[in-house]
Chain A
Amino acid sequence: MGTTPIVTDAALVAAVADGDMTALRELYERHGAWLHARLIRRCNDHEVVVEVVQDTFVALWKDARRFRHDGEVGAWLWGIAFRRMVSRLRSRRDVVLVPDWDVSPAQQQLMPSAEDQVLLGVEYGDLAAGLRRLSPEFRSVVQAVVLDGLTTKEAGRLLGVRQNTVKTRLHRAKAQLRTALTEPQEGWR
């Protein structure tokens, strides 16, 4: 692991569509862990996360043919996984599916080092600072739609607001952030 893969993810998905179980295993080796980690950040319930990851790869096995090779396999898998998680936890109120954007003083100490500030700069330009200045309801739609890839309709269902509300907030969030953007990021339309 960690070496340059000889086979691309897209090729593996095509193999899975053909019924190749070892390709499925390889895709799991590559993506299972980070999906798990990302899901755990949304929901503390370990069992649910394991089940969602399992469902995701079983869905991949069944629907591999539907993958349009026009994007990253990772993002596609996250889309399946997160949607599954959302629908699973719809009835549960003890779970927060959107990470808390308020930075507590304790967490401030764990802020990344200067070297890692580069990371933030790399991913979002000055977006990071702009994101922090966003009001809470704007942050949640940005998280749901932009970062987690839900549609505005799905985000509305998740956050318990109407689709139009989501669209408006998104629009306003973009306006607020446009000034902070140095260049267009993936996911923005």
Chain B
Amino acid sequence: MTTGIQGWHAHPALLSSYVAGDLDAVAGASIEQHVSRCETCRAAVGQLLEPQVLEQTWTGIRDAVERPALPFPLRLARRCGLSEPTAVLLASAASLRGAWLVGAFLSLSFATLAAYASGGTALAPFLLAAPLAPVLGVAAAYGPRQDPLEALIATAPYGRTRLILLRTIGVLASVLPVTVLLGLAVPGPPWLAAAWLGPALALVPVLLALAGFVGPRTAATVVSLVWSGVVLGSTRAFAPTWPVEAAQQGVYLGLAVAACAVIAIRAGTDRQPGVAL
């Protein structure tokens, strides 16, 4: 602490020299030690710097504080070219947060491990999890049953349908690539690695179509139960790969087309404001 001399302050010329960088190291060090403790001299230094610089710096601070950073997956996406407004819209979707994606990744990894360890006989966990991960992700991104912002989303120019589609694409883009990679580790015929895409890309439109009638929660539950029934039920009577074999893929394609048609018809014919997916 300063030796007994109370109320000593640096001479303005001295401070000017310091700010200009004209003082030698020792004198500079002395000033620094003093200024860091003396509010009067700190204020004096403040007067010596350009107000514009200080204001600009403050603007940066305020912006960073007011707007919390995007979740990590979205920061990555931004760097890959995702537009800024879109990132803001996706930031509020729960299933695009790190925690959810990590959870999905872990479940899928365990399912893959099970398939791998069993040498291709225990495919059920993987065939169950791989299509359901995007379905549940889309349902979670849909928003809570009574989305707190529902009324505002419904009456905004952006459009509720567009927002739901955006979130769906966001979930698919984040979940599908990882699942594809994991699928490569699943033992079996080579087409198996991508075969789960068939049910995945069918169940998502089914979910969306159904959610338009009964809401996302109910729709997700129904879809999950039905798919689980199909996969688990088939293990009794058929080969492990049955759920994704060619004949079934045809069914899934049909389902996907039908679901998309339902969505399109609903969005098109019902012109009442506020009705969408």
Contacts and interface: CB of A to CB of B under 8 A. Distances in A.
Interface residues of B, number: 49
A119 B46 contact: no
B25 A28 contact: no
Shortest 5 CB-CB contacts between residues of A and residues of B: A33-B46, A101-B25, A74-B36, A54-B60, A1-B43
Contacts of B29: 99, 131, 143, 147
A138 interface: no
Given A31-B42, A34-B46, A112 B23 contact: yes
Given A29-B46, A74-B42, A116-B11, A58 B61 contact: yes
A29 B18 CA distance: 19
Contact of B61 (A5, A57, A103): A57
Interface in A57-80: 57-58, 61, 72, 74-75, 78
Interface string A100-141: 110100011011110110111011110010011000000100
B34 interface: yes
B8 interface: yes
Interface in B43-65: 43-49, 53-54, 56-58, 60-62, 64-65
Nearest to B41: A34
A32 B47 contact: no
Nearest to A31: B42
11 contacts: A4-B39, A33-B42, A33-B45, A34-B41, A38-B32, A103-B25, A113-B11, A119-B10, A122-B5, A132-B26, A183-B3
Given A54-B61, A61-B65, A100-B25, A119 B42 contact: no
B53 to A, nearest CB: 7
Interface of B: 1-3, 5, 8, 10-11, 14, 17-19, 21-37, 39-49, 53-54, 56-58, 60-62, 64-65
Nearest to B18: A37
Contact of A30 (B18, B33, B39, B47): B39
Nearest to A183: B3
Contacts of B42: 30-31, 33-34, 74
A110 B31 CA distance: 15
A57 B63 CA distance: 12
A103 B25 CA distance: 8
B14 A116 contact: yes
Contact of B37 (A58, A74, A113): A74
B141 to A, nearest CB: 27
